[in-house]
Amino acid sequence: MEYEPKIVPEGINTSREHPIREFAVLVSGLVVVIVLVTSLLAVSTDFLIQYIPLEKENEWFANEMFTDAEVPEPEPDINTLLEAEVEQQLQQLIVELQDKEKTGYRFIVNLLHNEVPNAFVVPGGQIFVTSGLLEVVASENGLAMVLAHEMAHQYHRHPLRSLGRGVVLSLVLMVVSGVESDGLVGSFVGNTALLTSLSFSREQEREADLLGVDLLMQHYGHASGSSEFFEAMLEQPQADTETPEFLSTHPGIEERIDLLRNRSRQSSGDVTPLPEVIGRYLEAIENS
Amino acid sequence: MMLTNMETVPGKTISKHFGLVQGNTIRAKHVGRDIMASLKNVFGGELTGYTELLSESRQEATDRMVAQAEALGANAVLNVRFSTSSVTQGAAELYAYGTAVLLE
Amino acid sequence: MIDAIIFLSLLLSGYLFGQYFERRHYKSILKREKGSLHVPLLTLKTAPSGLKSCDAALVTGSVVVSVDYFKRFLAGLRTIVGGRVKSYESLVDRARREAILRMKEQAIDRGAIVVTNVRIETSSISKGQGNAIGSIEVLAYGTAISPHQV
C-alpha cells in the first residue's frame, strides 16, 4: 500500500458565491416578502374589523377601563372642581361638534393633568386631552379642531382598527422570530414590518384631519383657527422637524398646517374665544 | 465510487492511498418547516421536515467527499465516518470523512 | 435611526475584517498543507504493513474559530429562507483544516511517517445571545507512528 501525496482541490466544501451578492439577494427578497405580508395582513384586518358592530366595541371598552377609578379620591380640592367644570365644557363642545347623522357613536372626554400637549382617542370613543394642550390653543376653534380630529378617528373606527392590526402583526412576528436563533434577524424583520405599518398610520392621520376640519366647518361655518394647535407645536422647543416622514406615525407637521391653512383661506370667519373656566383652571394648576 | 466503513474490502487489495478526504455541508430549513416542528412539539410524531433536512445534508456531504476522492484519482473511500453538529439553531451541519484509496 | 446605523456599521466591519482574516487564514492553511503533504492521514485502524520497531503516540490538534457579525446575520436570514448556509461553510472548512494541520504538525515534530485512526470531533462553543452559536471548536486526533530513532 503506497502513499501518493496529492493536493485536494479547493472549492468542493466551500461555495464560490460572493457573500455580498448573497446578502443583497436575501435581504431584498426578505424585505419584499415582509412588506407584502404586512400590507396584506393590515388590509384584511382593517376590512374585517369594520364588521364588529359599534355597540360591541362600546361594550368591551367600557368607561371603567380607562379612568383611574381604582385610585381613592382625596377630598375634592379647588383643582378637582375646576377640572370637572372644564371637562363639562369640553363634553359640551363635543356634543356640538358631533355629526348628527352618524348614530351609535359615543364620546366621553377626560382631562389629564400633564404638561406635554397631547390628545388621543381609544377604542370605545374615550377622548383624552392634556392640560398642556389647553395651554397652547388660543381660541375655541383651535381646541375644537383637536377634538374634531380625535372624533374623526373614531368615526372612521381607527382606534379599533389600529388595535386589531397591531395584535395580528405582533402575533405573526412572534411566530416568525420565535423560530430563529438570533436577535439580529428578528429585529430586522420586526423593524421592516414596523416601517410598513407606519404608512397605514400616516394615512389614518390624514383622513382624520380631513373629516375633522369638515366637522369644524359644520359647526362654526368656517375653518379659521383650525391650524392653531399645529402651529403652536411647531414653535415648541422639542418640535421634531428632523425625523424623516417615513419613520413617523404622523404626516409632517408642515403638510398638515398647509392643509388647514388652505381650508381657512377658503372660508374664514371670526374665532370664538376659549371658555373662561379653562383660563382659571390653568392658573390654578400653575399656582399649585 | 465505493464507500464503506470497513477497513478492508473482501477480495480486493489496496494499491495506493491518498490520505484523508472530507465533505461537509450546512443546511437550514425555512420558517414554514420550523413552525410545523414547533407544533409537533405539542402533538408528537416524526419531524419529517427535519428528517428530510438531515438526510439531504448527509447526501450532500457524502457527495462532496466523493468529489474530493475522485479529484485525487481514488476509486473507493474506506472507513467512512459521519459526524453531526449544530452550528446555529434551525441549521444542521453534516460532516463525512474517510480514507481515499485505489482498490484493485 | 441610530440603531440602524450601528447595525450597518457592525455588518460592514464584520464583513471587512471577516474577509481579511479568512483570506489570511486560507493562505496560511494552503502553505502548511503543501508543506506537510509527505505525512499521510488514514482513518484506518491498522497501520500500514511493513513497519518495524515504531513508536506510536496520540497526537491532537484543536482550534476554536469564531463567527463575525456579517456571517451570523447571513446565517440568520438563511434559517428563515432555507437552503445552504454558505457563509458558515468556509468557516467550518477552515476550522477543520486548521485542526488537522495542527495534529499533523504535532506528528511531524515527533518524526512521524503516518498518522492512523484519525478522528475529528466538532462542537459549538459559547451559545451567545439566545441560541446563537458564536464559535466552532474542532478537535482532530490520531495515532502518530514514528520509527525509532536509532
Domains of chain C: 2-147 (3.30.110.70)
Q: Number of CB pairs < 8 Å for A and C?
A: 85
pLDDT recorded at residue A239: 61
pLDDT recorded at residue A142: 87
Looking at the complex, report in whole angstroms how far the Cα of residue B69 sits from the nearest Cα belonging to chain C: 13
* B contact residues 6-35, partner C, Cβ 8 Å cutoff: 7, 17-20, 22, 24-31, 33-34
What is the CATH number assigned to the segment(s) B2-103? 3.30.110.70
Looking at the complex, report in whole angstroms how far the Cα of residue A201 sits from the nearest Cα belonging to chain B: 28
Q: Identify the closest residue of chain A to C134 by CA–CA distance.
A: A182
Q: Identify the closest residue of chain A to C84 by CA–CA distance.
A: A15
Cell of A271: 374665532
Lowest-pLDDT range of A136-140, A156-160, B30-34, C116-120: B30-34
Per-chain mean pLDDT for chain C: 85
The set of residues, in sequence order, having a beta carbon less than 8 Å from that of C7 and lying 6+ positions away, is: A188
Q: Is the dihedral of CA A219, A222, A224, A226 positive or negative?
A: positive
- Cβ B7–C120 below 8 Å, yes or no? no
pLDDT recorded at residue C26: 92
Residue A157, CA distances (Å) to A15, A46, A124, A161, A162 in order: 53, 9, 9, 6, 9
Looking at the complex, report in whole angstroms how far the Cα of residue A244 sits from the nearest Cα belonging to chain C: 10
Identify whether A174 is part of a domain. Answer: yes
For the CA atoms of C29, C35, C37, C41, the dihedral, rounded to the nearest 10 degrees, stands at: -60
- CA atoms of A73 and A130, how far apart (whole Å): 20
Domain count, chain A: 1
Q: pLDDT of B59-92, one tens digit each?
A: 999 999 999 999 999 999 999 999 988 777 777 8
Cell of B45: 410524531
Q: Which of A3, A9, A181 sits opposite B90 (nearest CB)?
A: A181
Q: Number of CB pairs < 8 Å for B and C?
A: 109
Q: Which of B72, B73, B90 sits opposite A180 (nearest CB)?
A: B90
CB A174 within 8 A of CB A267: no
Q: pLDDT of A44-92, one tens digit each?
A: 888 888 888 888 888 787 765 555 544 555 556 667 788 888 888 888 8
User: Does position A180 have pLDDT exceeding 60, yes or no?
Assistant: no
pLDDT recorded at residue B21: 93
For A231, the domain range is 19-287
- Of C2, C39, C41, C77, which to mutate for an interface test with A (greatest number of A Cβ within 10 Å)? C77
Reported confidence tier of residue A115, pLDDT bands at 50, 70, 90: confident
Taking the domains of chain B in order of start, what are their residue ranges? Answer: 2-103
Identify whether A141 is part of a domain. Answer: yes
CB B11 within 8 A of CB B52: no
Q: Which of A6, A181, A188 sits opposite C79 (nearest CB)?
A: A181
Q: pLDDT of A157-178, one tens digit each?
A: 888 888 888 888 888 777 776 6
Identify whether A11 is part of a domain. Answer: no
Identify whether A3 is part of a domain. Answer: no
Angle between helices A158-178 and A183-220 (to 10 degrees): 180
Residues of A with CB under 8 A from a CB of C: 1, 3, 5-7, 13-15, 17, 19-20, 22-23, 26-27, 29-30, 176, 179-185, 188-189, 191, 243, 247
Chain C environment of A243 (Cβ under 8 Å): 1
pLDDT recorded at residue A69: 47
- Give the SS3 label for residue B24: strand
Per-chain mean pLDDT for chain A: 81
Highest mean pLDDT among A112-116, A169-173, A250-254, B74-78: B74-78
- Of B5, B53, B88, which to mutate for an interface test with C (greatest number of C Cβ within 10 Å)? B88
Residues of C with CB under 8 A from a CB of B: 40-46, 72, 75-76, 78-85, 88-89, 92-93, 96, 100, 118-124, 130-133, 136
For the CA atoms of C46, C47, C52, C58, the dihedral, rounded to the nearest 10 degrees, stands at: -110
The pairs formed by A29-38 with CB atoms below 8 angstroms and a separation of 24 or more are: A29/C81, A30/A189, A30/A192, A30/C77, A30/C80, A30/C81, A31/A192, A34/A189, A34/A192, A34/A193, A34/A196, A35/A192, A35/A196, A37/A172, A37/A193, A38/A169, A38/A192, A38/A193, A38/A196, A38/A197
Residues of C with CB under 8 A from a CB of A: 1, 3-4, 7, 15, 19, 33-34, 37-38, 40, 48-49, 69-81, 84, 86-87, 89-90, 93, 114, 129-133
User: Does position C129 have pLDDT exceeding 50, yes or no?
Assistant: yes
Identify whether A24 is part of a domain. Answer: yes
pLDDT recorded at residue A271: 80
- Cβ A182–C87 below 8 Å, yes or no? no
- Cβ A180–C80 below 8 Å, yes or no? yes
Highest mean pLDDT among B29-38, B72-81, C118-127: B72-81
- CA atoms of B72 and C40, how far apart (whole Å): 13
Chain C environment of B91 (Cβ under 8 Å): 75, 78-79, 85, 88
pLDDT recorded at residue B30: 80
Mean pLDDT of A111-134: 86
Identify whether A23 is part of a domain. Answer: yes
Highest mean pLDDT among C20-29, C50-59, C67-76: C20-29
User: Does position A238 have pLDDT exceeding 70, yes or no?
Assistant: no
Reported confidence tier of residue A242, pLDDT bands at 50, 70, 90: low
- Cβ A182–C129 below 8 Å, yes or no? yes
pLDDT recorded at residue C130: 52
Looking at the complex, report in whole angstroms how far the Cα of residue C123 sits from the nearest Cα belonging to chain A: 17
Could you list the active site residues of A? 150
